[in-house]
Amino acid sequence: MINFIIFIIVIHLIAVGVAKLGKQKDFVYPLSLMVALAILSTVLANKIVAVGNFFVPGGIIVFSATYLLCDIISEQWGRDYTKKAIWAGFLANAVIAISIYFTLILPSAPYAINISDAFKVALGMTPRIVFASFFSYLFSQYFNLWGFFYLKKITNDKYLWLRNGFSTVVAQFISTSLFILIAFYGVFPLWKMFVSLFILKVGLLIIDIPFIYLAKWWLNKSDKNNQKIDGGQKFGLDKTSDFKKLYTDNLDMIVNWSVPILPKSNFKIADYGGGNSIVSKKIIDELAKKNITNFSVENIDNDKNKFIEYKNLKNIYGDILSYDKKDQYNLSIARFLMHLFNNTEREQLLKNIYNNTKQSGYVLLGNFVIDDERNYNIKRKILDYIESKKHIKSRFIPKTVEIEKMLETVGFKIAKEKKVFYKISISDFYKNRFNLTDKEIKEVNKLIGVEEHDEIQVFILARKE
């Protein structure tokens, strides 16, 4: 029993750790783990193990970990990426079933008969078990996905333990019923195995809950530091004169681009990651000057501390990577967000924005870009230093061409684009933006050998075709 418990803890910690790696680097890491867990759960199911007085397939722990991993992916990356993970595991099972089947029917070498017989004993049932896995895996995982997001919606993104628990319990019931019936009918006593397997799976679910909260805390830890250090309204804008002027000019440009493309009344604007609502307020005030009042601006952010009350403004607490309001908005604004996400997350963000934007609606996107390699290398060194010192979220600054391609890939057509060039200094912008001490300023200056560098921002207005 002690080994069983240790195995549970280890495999769940691996799932959380790989999810953290995926959040820091790329989604390929949790995707690869999903494939590995799916394959292992099938192979290990050939051994029936004793857990106290229960007798269950050996893949029970690994298979249960797929639900934890899928719930973490759903919470951190959203529905589309969970579907990718589910199908990756399904295809992996298909490949292993085909491969083992043909390996089993191939003739054995004369000098390896004993090894061949042992191989047949160990994996001879695998095609049937994989067939059972096909149905139980796909049906249960998709129900788990549906249940997770249904509960997420009706609870307004609260009670993570409930959506993790309820969706998984029902999914486990479906999985257990289908798997036991298809895999072991006529081979083992079904009822005893079903009861044993389901009870253990429910027990594993209870163990899941602290791990999904651990994942939420650990994966979002850098975001909380980000909010404290890089928190929008708390940024000393008045202390950075050059950047203040540019910031104001950009606000005016965003307003001038936004207002003319909006309907005359009854429309909605989404400000993704708007936080302190600086852009939203500016647009609302401009619309008020034109006596336009029948509209709303929805500010979606995961930092409630930055929310303000303002006319026509609605604050929505939530994760912009999983925010789902299909065909709701005439204009979506995403300003200075792309560098906070890796390529996988950027793609997810733009897909969400596209789905949430009405047909013929627009997205207005602005961000830092790395079109100048020399100055990017300088900025990269500065950001690496700040990220290590302040423990804030890594910045993955894109190129303009990458943003353009992503917009077009999800279905937007670029209507207007403008680049803005300016200089920022270590002792001005970086000091105030990231609360650097005088000692840290000196260390950065010594690291890069200059006191300022050129920066480029790009602003793109694109239409949903």
C-alpha–C-alpha distance, residues 449 and 443, integer Å:
10
Q: Is the pLDDT of residue 364 over 90?
A: yes
Instruction: Could you list the beta-strand ranges (E) of 375-440.
Output: 412-425
Q: Nearest to residue 48, comparing CAs of 134, 153, 125, 118?
A: 125
| 163-178: pLDDT as tens digits | 888 888 888 788 778 8
Strand positions, DSSP E, 27-177:
48-51, 54-57
459's CB contacts (< 8 A; 6+ apart) are 250, 253, 254, 257, 364, 365, 366, 417, 418, 419, 420
Task: Look up tokens 């079904």; give the residue.
Answer: 190
Question: By three-state DSSP, how is residue 250 classified?
Answer: helix
Higher pLDDT among residues 406 and 150, named by residue:
406
Give the highest mean pLDDT range of 25-39, 93-107, 158-172, 202-216: 25-39
Domains of the chain, residue spans: 2-219, 225-464
Inter-residue contact 332 to 355 (CB < 8 Å): no
Give tens-digit pLDDT for 132-175. Answer: 777 788 888 888 888 888 888 787 777 888 888 888 888 878 87
In 185-293, which residue ranges form alpha helices assigned H by DSSP?
Answer: 190-219, 221-229, 241-258, 278-289
Give the gyration radius of the chain's Cα atoms. Answer: 26
**For the purposes of burial, counting CB atoms within 10 Å of the CB of 237, is it exposed (0-12), middle (13-18) or buried (19 or more)?**
middle
Distance in angstroms (rounded) separating the CA atoms of residues 69 and 211 = 10
Residue 48 CB partners (closer than 8 Å, separation 6+): 55, 56, 57, 58, 188
**Distances in Å between the alpha carbon of 138 and those of 10, 80, 92?**
25, 15, 12
CA-closest candidate to residue 15, choices 299, 251, 214:
214
- d(CA 201, CA 328) in angstroms, rounded, equals 40
pLDDT at 99: 84
Q: Over 70: is that where the pLDDT of 124 sits?
A: no
> 225-464 maps to which CATH number?
3.40.50.150
The tokens for 89 are: 């595991």
Q: Which two tokens stand for residue 96?
A: 């292993």
Q: How confident is the model at residue 424 (pLDDT cuts 50, 70, 90)?
A: confident
One-letter amino acid at 317 equals Y
Q: Is residue 309 classed as helix, strand or coil in its secondary structure?
A: coil
Average pLDDT over residues 277-294: 90
Residue 134 CA to residue 41 CA, distance in Å, equals 12
